[in-house]
Chain A
Amino acid sequence: MSDIFSFNGARNAGWSQPEPILSDPEVLGTIPSSMLRASPPAWPRASEPELVRHYTWLSRRNFGIDTGFYPLGSCTMKHNPRVNERIVNLPGIDRMHPLQPEHQIQGILSIFYEMQEMLAICSGMDQVTLQPVAGAQGEFTAMRCIQEFHRERGEGHRNKVIVPDSAHGTNPASASMCGYEIIEIPSGEDGRIDLDALQSVVGDDTAAMMITNPSTLGVFEPDIASASEIVHSAGGQMYYDGANFNAIIGKTDPGLMGFDAVHYNLHKTFSQPHGGGGPGSGPIGVKKHLSKYLPSPLASRRKIIESDPEGVGDGYWYSWISPENTIGKVQQWHGNAGAVVRCWAFYRRYGRELERMSEHAVLNANYLRFKIMNPEKDVLSKIHAMPTDGAPTDFVMHEFTLSMIGMKDKVGVTGKDIAKRLLDYGVMAPTLYFPMIVPECLMIEPTETESKEVLDKFAADFLNVLSEDPELIKGAPYTTDVSRVDEVWAARNLILRHPGNNSDVN
């Protein structure tokens, strides 16, 4: 394998930089001698040619959407238009400082403003902040705003947040970081909200309910308006986890469903390449009564007046404003501006036709589900056990869940085994074992950017796996860079860094 710490190409000729503008004694004299570092960090001593080859080698051992189909449910792994990457290399974003005065940042402020407005329109909210940098941080930010709202009304005693058992793990984790106690309610037998269960837990200690709709089972909650009513009449706030917002744009919105606050996963609903785990962008939108608590600052605008310097040419002057009772900052600056700009470029591609994006996400999910669940007779006859639907529903939204419990019971093949075997077919595995309420769960989200042919092939490959020799499936994968990885050993031994084999590493 390629080991970055074993290269020697820069022992004498490393990457060159201009010399410091003062001599060594002048520089070193500025720092107390007791504070001078004894020896530099034992970083690699590699030359550019070696490194380019190393990182190219690493990239070839990594699977992205560009490599193949990536049906990772809940993560919305769609194609990322390449012009977005070109745009964020412009100096007008890459070389900008968040503390520059307003007249130097009119262009970026106008993009922020346009994004705030567009997100508010699509979600039925009144005000949006772009500051949270990930969905989970959006959740945390909104729960902080809700907390301040209750406190200011003298209802700071409301200390419980309700989440369905099918919720994303970030929901309870974010509320808990605000100091809230979590009340988990079981889903009904059809995977939907159990209104009786909800009614039985709300009370004058309810701060909020957090819920995603469509749910993590990919199913729209038909009783959502009633759920909102139950929570509101108990004095609680309704929070919409926007992880699945990509399914409903233009069809309905969280405002219509009765929500008070929502986060958007810009990187999922729109597009920001997920880059091996991030960056993301998690703006939140709120109804009017919560807007004065939003993080500071927000982009704002007014009609241009004569004394103004030149703006962007649209007749407006853009500026920062601070909400009246702001909770302050959740990220140091203005959020992941680079992600906001990419998502602006993505949104501009659809404009008023954003609805088509949701339609195609839903069309692709239903089509793929149909193809998997309705195999040809000769295919069906070879399958050990068919998957069962995570939620018994006629149509799903943008994703669906399958329980592989039949395969486990009949031939001892787990959901994980099937996921690993799929890797041999040149696709990424679906999300595994989530939501936890579906046994041996695989969660599949094709996204709108996959062609019918890709979906047909995946369905055929998936069904083929279910007919393979169980021992073969259990030993998978076979064609990947490494075979099945021992995660238990990793957790027991915790080798978390290179031991160092440079001569100057201790």
Chain B
Amino acid sequence: MDQLPNLGREHEMLSVMGLNSIEELFSNIPEGVRRKKPLPLPAPQSEEEIWRDAQHLLGSNIDLDSRPSFLSAGLSRNFVPTMVGMLATRGEFLTSYTPYQAEVSQGMLQAMWEFQTMISELVNLPISNVSMYDASTSAAEALTCAIRVHNKKAIQKDTIYVSELVPPHRMSVIENYVQGSGINLQMLKHDENGHLDINAASIAHGSCAVYVEQPNSFGILDEGLMKLKEKIGENTALIVGVDAVSLGLVTPPGDWGADIVVGEGQPFGIGPTFGGPIYGIFACNEKYIRQMPGRIVGQTHDTNEKKAFTLTLSTREQHIRRHRATSNICSNETLIALMGAMHMSLLGPDGITVLAKRVAASTEATKKALTSIEGVELLYPNSSNFREFVIKIPGNTEKAVSFMDSEGVIAGFPLGLWWESHSSCILIGCDERTSPSDISSLVSVVKKWIKEVIN
């Protein structure tokens, strides 16, 4: 209630209009649809009471930083530089909206243009938009974008191929986004090493698009993907979902023929935040520019020939093109992308390399430590991994993770919850903050569990 500056001044304002009560302003609402009773909700609270309740409720959650944690599955338990939160919450950024009026929005426009540049550099493709909702909607809209571009010339009309290892929640988003247009969604198979069956992938030749992930949902870096573009041909879009941090070490998909690169931007800019708000990366080459979703900033000049920035290519968008728009996206995740830009610019070329090495080092160290335990096996012993890998352990893995949880360690994600076929597997996620002491805590609870099962 303390957010209403005109509280108590209603009659002063009404009398200017020659009115007596606020109810008169609502007189166009017919009696038949009127709400008769007050809202059955609690009494208003002060800031102090709200803060107290928030502290109590959110304080009863157990956060990832409070104990060793190996839960990743697409999000990063990152460290966000202090500068990011402080600058992104400056009111001029925080409380602005879509920069329709470029003349008073140069700050956000320039920041987004710089963001586009950094994403373009990261994935090595010339064009980036200013963000999608998350990695999954980026992937889904990349597929529908590719269909619009390629369907005319496609031999396999309305057909797209997606790696069978795309995690189920992302697959579900993709299915929701493509089902309406009568798209034929096919799966690409993997071999016993967790690599894409690259020869079998030729089946996608002449379709509209192929979507694969590097690393895949088991954290496997698949060298074979670098030859995928030649298998599927020029007229089929190669869409690659990436772990953005990995590109500090790993060759960007733009180097090996990817047409569109998507991924989760969250590791740059914001904590895991219970899954949102986060932001999706979307970058592509020139072929897709007029069919891509989302907002784009371009450089231009003002009437005095002074350099300036503005939203551009708006004719693709829903507020102009309506049902023929390339996407329905309106509100996006610009503020989180701004936080990402701040984080990326602070890292710089050297910082991103070190960050990627830290994640790779944690992954390798954790993998080595766990495989030294008798009874623990790697599902794919011969794979290269970044951030994540899969172990098999004795006993029911859901119970195992729950047991280790009761011992104070968040020990990863029981993969049976995603795929029944993997019910003896746990997805272990590492990050730049994984310490040797975290790893020894994990090792000791895994040993304890195995002992428990064997007895």
Contacts and interface: CB of A to CB of B under 8 A. Distances in A.
A328 B140 CA distance: 14
B455 interface: no
A175 B273 contact: no
A415 interface: no
The residue in A18, A108, A222, A494 that gathers the most chain B C-beta atoms within 10 A of its C-beta is A494
13 contacts: A26-B361, A41-B118, A64-B91, A91-B58, A103-B62, A134-B332, A252-B34, A279-B332, A329-B170, A333-B276, A450-B5, A486-B301, A495-B299
A87 B103 contact: no
A326 B353 CA distance: 42
A30 B29 contact: no
B329 A91 contact: no
B19 to A, nearest CB: 8
Given A27-B361, A251-B35, A332-B134, A37 B251 contact: yes
Contact of A490 (B38, B312, B317): B312
Given A222-B30, A484-B303, A498 B54 contact: no
A484 B385 contact: no
Interface in A46-69: 46, 48, 51-52, 55-67
A20 interface: yes
B234 interface: no
Interface in B159-186: 169-170, 172-173, 175-177, 179-182
A36 B39 contact: no
Interface string B252-273: 1000000000000000000111
Interface in B47-104: 47, 49-51, 53-66, 69, 71, 73-75, 77, 81, 83, 85, 87-104
A60 B107 contact: yes
A150 to B, nearest CB: 13
Contacts of B91: 64-67
A22 B40 CA distance: 59
B61 A24 contact: no
Interface string B310-325: 1011000111111111
A496 B434 CA distance: 37
Contacts of B6: 360, 363-364, 448, 451-452
Contacts of B319: 168-170, 434
Contacts of A67: 91-92, 95
Residue of B331, B333, B345 most packed against chain A (CB within 10 A): B331
B60 to A, nearest CB: 4
B127 interface: yes
Nearest to B44: A351
B445 interface: no
A64 B71 CA distance: 37
A351 to B, nearest CB: 4
A44 B302 contact: no
Contacts of A356: 1, 4, 7
B327 A173 contact: yes
Given A21-B362, A62-B93, A357 B42 contact: no
A100 B273 CA distance: 12
- Interface footprint category on B: 35 or more
Interface in B261-300: 271-277, 289, 295-300
A90 B55 contact: yes
A319 B403 CA distance: 19
The winner among A279, A327, A348, A349 for most chain B CB atoms within 10 A is A279
Interface stretch (B109-117, B371-379, B446-454): B109-117
Contacts of A110: 57
Interface in B342-393: 342, 344-355, 357-358, 360-365, 384-386
Contact of B59 (A90, A101, A224): A90
Contact of A136 (B110, B306, B331, B413): B331
Contacts of B352: 40-41, 43
A278 B295 CA distance: 11
A21 B430 CA distance: 12
A383 interface: no
Contacts of A20: 354, 357-358, 360-362
B378 to A, nearest CB: 13
A33 to B, nearest CB: 10
Contact of A21 (B88, B299, B434): B434
Interface in A449-464: 449-452
A475 to B, nearest CB: 8
Contact of A504 (B120, B300, B349): B349
A64 B333 CA distance: 16
Interface string A357-390: 1011011101100110000000000000000000
Contacts of B110: 1, 58, 61
B130 interface: yes
Interface stretch (B10-18, B149-157, B199-207): B10-18
A104 B59 CA distance: 10
Contacts of B317: 169
B44 A90 contact: no
Given A30-B363, A277-B98, A93 B274 contact: yes
Contacts of A70: 95, 97
B332 A348 contact: no
Given A92-B57, A118-B41, A172-B323, 7 more contacts: A59-B87, A62-B107, A66-B91, A93-B58, A97-B73, A449-B3, A494-B289
A133 interface: yes
Contacts of A327: 176
A85 B321 CA distance: 35
A43 B104 contact: no
A416 to B, nearest CB: 10
Contact of A91 (B65, B346, B434): B65
B276 A352 contact: no
Contacts of A364: 6
Nearest to A277: B334
A179 B182 contact: yes
Given A330-B173, A352-B44, A364-B6, A485 B308 contact: yes
Contacts of A26: 361, 364
Contact of B298 (A172, A428, A480, A494): A494
A337 B270 CA distance: 13
A39 B124 CA distance: 11
A34 to B, nearest CB: 6
A440 B326 CA distance: 26
Contacts of B64: 95-97, 100
Contact of A357 (B4, B65, B332, B351): B4
